[in-house]
Amino acid sequence: MMYRAVTWVALKKGIAAEHAAIGSLARQSTIKEAPGNSLRFLIGAEDVTDSLRLPEVDRNVSRISQVPEVREALVDRQRALAQQFNIVVVGRDIGTVVLPKAALKIFLTASSEERSRRRHEELRQHGTDTNYETVLEETKLRDTMDSKRELSPLKPAHDAILLDTSTLSIDQVVGRIMHEYYKKHGHAQ
């Protein structure tokens, strides 16, 4: 969500990924959880949660996340949060770059078609008019850009547990992750 937040602010201010100011923007942007609700995010006092999933953010987040100064600023923040709290961190380079010594690494994946179907449905539920083919094309483009970027490419860590969620419900995914957690830490379910 941090990369999406920087992307959203950059779009709002009209700053391109190639512009020298993008690194400063990443260092100065404050994204935080809304009080009492870990699923809502604020930039300053503004709740931007829904804006972070807009199609224009989707189309630009990979370009913004490739900027070395942006990655440096946000990786430092992610590491600081992980040192401060016992948290679950989600991202495309968490297990390989951000937290390579994490206690449990799960690399979630699903087919491009299934991820696009889920994203298309999410967009529709939020009133965004888009078609599945466009979402699929954008998903594949983002995956290609993120996998081929020089800094922190999208790839599973060597010690990550791969979990294909293409045919799983959310409850099944959570169940499998909890199973792996208990298996690794020796706790009974």
**What's the pLDDT score for residue 110?**
96
Residue 77's pLDDT band (boundaries 50, 70, 90)? confident
Helices (H), 29-108: 55-65, 68-84
* Spans of all domains in the chain: 1-85, 88-189
10-61 pLDDT per residue, tens: 999 998 877 778 888 888 877 776 666 566 777 878 888 889 988 899 889 9
**What's the pLDDT score for residue 132?**
96
Contact 67, 22 (CB under 8 A): yes
Answer yes or no: same fold for 1-85 and 88-189.
yes
Q: What is the CATH number of domain 88-189?
A: 3.40.50.300
127-185 pLDDT per residue, tens: 888 899 999 999 999 899 989 888 888 899 999 999 999 999 999 999 999 999 999 88
Q: Is the pLDDT of residue 85 over 70?
A: yes
Q: What is the CATH number of domain 1-85?
A: 3.40.50.300
Name 129's Cβ contacts closer than 8 Å, sequence gap at least 6.
Answer: none
| 68-84 helix and 21-28 helix, angle to the nearest 10 degrees | 10
